[in-house]
């Protein structure tokens, strides 16, 4: 009955606030009641939970712990921008897979993996990517973007991610300039943006996003034990990863359109309100430049201005900031 899984899942997913009768599903899809029943059994075997009530029908109540290919396909199909998806149980890094897939297609696409065995963060740091706990994905945007504009891409994206986290979990997500997302001064999300193109313009933006969703604090080892958190650890509520993924996708698509059509100055005020670095004396490291000081302003191009104890102003394009 695997051949009806996707269609039945689609009906149940889009009507998940209510019950759908077996009769109604059978009529909608022009299949037999037995085929519906067998497919419902298959969904249950594959980790979906359904409530079934006599005379009312079926309601989708829970999703599998691991990413389900058909469910992810359904969610990504709703996107007006991303045309393809690649969903894996295990890869080295979605970022590496995305770069391979770019050779096969010119369309925008998404790569998601349950586990990454060699997840990478900024400054080539290791990125802890445990199964069933987070969202490890790469979004590949295809668009000619002038070189001068790319600096603000991370700013648009970080605002989109922070907004999604706030909306889905209720946690007070903050942005640590330029593109880390924190809750209660612990990191819950980071992303990595790589680009390719030619000397005049960028053609591809490869944005790898890692979000800790359902980790316990005890899942974080070594230095992460005091630095990392997850949405569940911060709120006490388990996050529905599918719902989170769906909302994030909508939000990053919108952020990408804004990035193309607007200037950073149009969202600067909102971005600054989400930021957790103001009125704090912090250490900023950019290459060999290390400054201890207080962030005082952002430029319209996204650069940060930090004032040190002597009153000297320092401009940063991107920096590692210790909270």
Binding residues (CB under 6 A) for ligand BTN: these are 93-95, 116, 119-122, 125, 127, 129, 136-138, 180, 190-192, 208-210
The four Cα atoms 256, 168, 73, 66 give a dihedral, to 10 degrees, of 130
Structure tokens at 247: 């909302």
CB of 179 to ligand BTN, least distance (A): 7
CB of 12 to ligand BTN, least distance (A): 29
Residues 6+ apart with CB under 8 A from 22: 33, 36, 37, 40, 57, 58
SS3 content of the chain, % helix, strand, coil (to 5): 35, 35, 30
Instruction: Report whether 187 belongs to an annotated binding site.
Output: yes
CB of 138 to ligand BTN, least distance (A): 5
Give the C-alpha separation, 20 to 9, whole Å: 11
CB of 306 to ligand BTN, least distance (A): 20
- Crossing angle (nearest 10°) for helices 241-261 and 69-77: 30
Instruction: Report whether 56 belongs to an annotated binding site.
Output: no
User: The dihedral of CA 315, 321, 322, 323: what is its sign?
Assistant: positive
Q: Nearer to ligand BTN by C-beta: 120 or 241?
A: 120
User: H helices within the chain, ranges in order?
Assistant: 2-14, 22-29, 33-45, 69-77, 94-101, 153-169, 224-227, 231-235, 241-261, 264-274
Q: Angle at the Cα of 111 (from 107 to 114), degrees rounded to 5?
A: 165
Instruction: Report whether 241 belongs to an annotated binding site.
Output: no
Q: 52 - beta bridge partners?
A: 58
CB of 4 to ligand BTN, least distance (A): 33
Q: Nearer to ligand BTN by C-beta: 1 or 102?
A: 102
Q: Nearer to ligand BTN by C-beta: 208 or 293?
A: 208
Q: What is the DSSP letter of 68?
A: P
CB of 157 to ligand BTN, least distance (A): 12
Q: What are phi and psi of 118, to 5 degrees?
A: -140, 50
Q: Nearer to ligand BTN by C-beta: 61 or 117?
A: 117
Q: Nearer to ligand BTN by C-beta: 136 or 256?
A: 136
Give the C-alpha separation, 165 to 34, whole Å: 41
Q: Nearer to ligand BTN by C-beta: 58 or 156?
A: 156
**CA-CA distances (angstroms) from residue 143 to 82, 103, 173, 240, 244?**
12, 15, 29, 31, 26
Q: Nearer to ligand BTN by C-beta: 4 or 127?
A: 127
CB of 265 to ligand BTN, least distance (A): 25
List binding-site positions.
Answer: 116, 120-122, 187
Q: Which parts are annotated binding residues for biotin?
A: 116, 120-122, 187
């Amino acid at each position: 009955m695997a051949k009806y899984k996707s269609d039945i899942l689609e009906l149940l997913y889009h009507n998940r606030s209510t019950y759908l009768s077996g009769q109604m599903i059978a009529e909608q899809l022009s299949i037999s009641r037995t085929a519906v029943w067998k497919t419902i059994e298959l969904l249950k075997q594959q980790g979906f939970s359904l409530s079934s009530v006599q005379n009312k029908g079926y309601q989708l109540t829970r999703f599998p712990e691991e990413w389900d290919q058909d469910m992810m396909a359904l969610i990504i199909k709703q996107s007006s921008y991303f045309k393809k998806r690649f969903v894996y149980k295990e890869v080295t890094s979605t970022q590496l897979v995305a770069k391979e897939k770019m050779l096969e297609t010119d369309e925008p696409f998404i790569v998601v993996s349950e586990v990454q065995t060699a997840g990478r963060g900024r400054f080539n740091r290791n990125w802890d990517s445990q199964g069933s706990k987070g969202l490890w994905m790469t979004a590949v945007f295809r668009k000619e973007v002038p070189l001068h504009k790319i600096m603000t891409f991370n700013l648009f994206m970080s605002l989109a991610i922070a907004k999604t986290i706030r909306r889905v979990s209720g946690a007070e997500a903050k942005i640590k300039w330029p593109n880390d997302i924190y809750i209660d001064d612990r990191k819950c999300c980071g992303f990595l943006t790589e680009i390719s193109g030619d000397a005049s313009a960028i053609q591809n933006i490869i944005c790898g996003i890692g979000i800790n969703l359902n980790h316990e604090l005890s899942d974080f080892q070594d230095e992460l034990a005091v630095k990392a958190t997850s949405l569940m650890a911060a709120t006490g509520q388990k996050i529905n990863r599918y719902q989170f993924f769906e909302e994030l996708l909508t939000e990053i698509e919108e952020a990408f359109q804004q990035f193309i059509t607007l200037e950073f100055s149009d969202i600067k005020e909102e971005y600054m309100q989400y930021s957790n670095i103001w009125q704090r004396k912090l250490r900023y490291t950019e290459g060999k430049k290390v400054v201890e000081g207080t962030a005082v302003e952002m430029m319209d191009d996204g650069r940060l201005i930090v004032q040190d104890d002597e009153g000297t102003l320092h401009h940063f394009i991107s920096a590692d900031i210790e909270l």
